[in-house]
Amino acid sequence: MLEIAGLLLALASAFALETQVIFEEPNGVRLLVADDPSIKAVKFEVQPNGQQLVEDIVEYRVDGVWEFYKPEMEVQSGDDIRYRVTVYHEEGTELTEWKFYKLTSFERPVRSMKRAVVFRDDFHSFNKGSYKIECSAWGGGNHEFQVYVNEPSNLYARGGHFYLKPTLTTDDPRYDDNRLYHGQMKVTDFCGGGPCTQSANWGCDRTAVNGNVLNPIKSGKVTTNAAIRYGTVTVRARIPEGDWLWPAIWMLPRDWKYGGWPRSGEIDLMEARCNSYMKCGSNLEGVQEVASTLHWGPDAGQNRFYKTHGELDKGSGDWADGFHTYKLEWDANHIRVTVDGRQILYVSTPGNSYWGWGGFGGSNPWAGGGRDAPFDQYFQLILNVAVGGQYFPQGCAYNHPRPWHDGSPRQEAEFYEKKSEWLSTWHGERAAMVIDYVEMVQA
């Protein structure tokens, strides 16, 4: 008995539990326990307001933290909860006493226990030195209609939030309809004194020809200077609402270790098509749905993204109804993306590598990398709002018919000439993607 008592005393001394409780409005409760190498699992018991007990056994850690998270508990600011934590060690079990906690209004999660925070931005201002700001009209890989600019009407911080807001190009006094249809666009006019960043597809200098128009929308896109290889990325954001708006929270490789896209990979935390109604076949796919995807393959024609794609319906309401927390958890063995703790995508690293899983032929560009190549290198975080393009399939039903046609040389003009339909769905800053904070944590 003395030996057992001594062992229990030693355990209590060695593993003094520190539990952090966070309330995330409107109904989210999060508990965090710092890791110890001997911990094998953690059981959380939470009881709000004398209601039914909620239990959760967590069997894996993320970046030195064991986490309980329920985004939709029946609680509100000012409520009391009681909680208890049980930690399962190699040598035994440690059980805390019941504790009480009063939930208080949302505070941004503090920097997490035992993490190496590489980058965090709470957007008290827009620190341009932390980002690469895209300034180009090239249209991306899906032939979108925006020109990305470095202008305060499209990229700005206010009230602790960062706004990426699309606007009409003709809102700029230098551009009217006549110039849009018959003039020239020197993109450096929009670059805040900086350079044009992408010259492909006449991205730096455009002329309106063949009845088409210059890029009819200005918008914003930024890439962090910071990069991580494994760890977590967390972005709390409110996505836009409005026809043909395409917000994205995603990552591309810093060094392009294995070559051009998609050979070096792409990690999409969140993409959405923000039409209020969009139906493809039997699936509703508008602003009620967000998607996460990994892109990988030896060339664009062999991109196996469909093997690593996930979607999540909101259930009630839509994803533009408020702020939601998008999170990437990434290590050599798995990639997981969640929103408010709900899983969008989970990919276990294939046992025979991505090359083997993809069934590719020829020379393996990832042969010199890890089993999880191309996702074994440093990636940077990207935030942007695109408009139109091939991401909106022609064969789907929308609240208004898609105004442009695949293969047409006048796609931008076809889009612009129907602005009476879609512009009425853009309501000021509700058409912007609004970022509350971003955090990048190196594992």
Give catalytic residue positions.
266, 271
Residue in 133, 169, 132 with CA at minimum distance from that of residue 387: 169
Give DSSP secondary structure letters for 244-281: TEEEEEEEEESS-TT-STTTT-EEEEEE----S-EEET
3-state secondary structure of 164: strand
Please give the structure tokens belonging to residue 173.
């006094």
Tokens read off for 244: 């043909």
Cβ proximity of 191 and 127 under 8 Å:
no
DSSP 62: B
CA pseudo-torsion sign 335, 340, 341, 345: negative
Q: How far apart are the first and last CA of the chain?
A: 42
Kind and range of the H or E element at 8? helix 2-14
Question: 4: phi > 0 → left, psi -120 to 50 → alpha, else beta; which?
Answer: alpha
Which DSSP state fits 136?
Answer: B
Taking the CB of residue 172, how many other CB atoms lie within 10 A of it?
16
Residue type, 180: L
Burial of 6 by CB count in 10 Å (0-12 exposed, 13-18 middle, 19+ buried)? exposed
Nearest-angstrom CA–CA distance, 349 and 326: 21
DSSP reduced 3-state for 184: strand
386 close to 137: Cβ distance less than 8 angstroms: no
CA distances for 400 relative to 5, 408, 420, angstroms: 72, 19, 11
Query: What is the rounded CA–CA span in Å between residue 93 and residue 12?
Result: 10
Report the 10 Å Cβ neighbour count for 200: 10
How far is residue 2 from each of residues 7, 10, 12, 200, 252, measured CA to CA in Å?
A: 9, 12, 15, 76, 58
